[in-house]
Amino acid sequence: MQRLTQNLKRFVRDEDGVTAIEYGLIAALIAVVIIASVQLVGQNLSKVFSLIAGELG
In a domain, residue 16? The reply is no
Q: Cα dihedral angle (7, 12, 14, 16), rounded to 10 degrees? A: 130
- The more confident residue out of 16 and 54 is 54
d(CA 14, CA 19): 10
Model confidence pTM above 0.95 = no
DSSP letters for 10-56: HHHH--HHHHHHHHHHHHHHHHHHHHHHHHHHHHHHHHHHHHHHHHH
Q: How far apart are CA 57 and CA 45, in angstroms?
A: 18
Does any domain span residue 26? yes
Determine, yes or no, domain membership for 41: yes
Expressed as residue numbers, the domain containing 49 is 22-56
Domain count, the chain: 1
Residue 17 has pLDDT above 70, yes or no: no
Q: What is the mean pLDDT of the chain?
A: 87
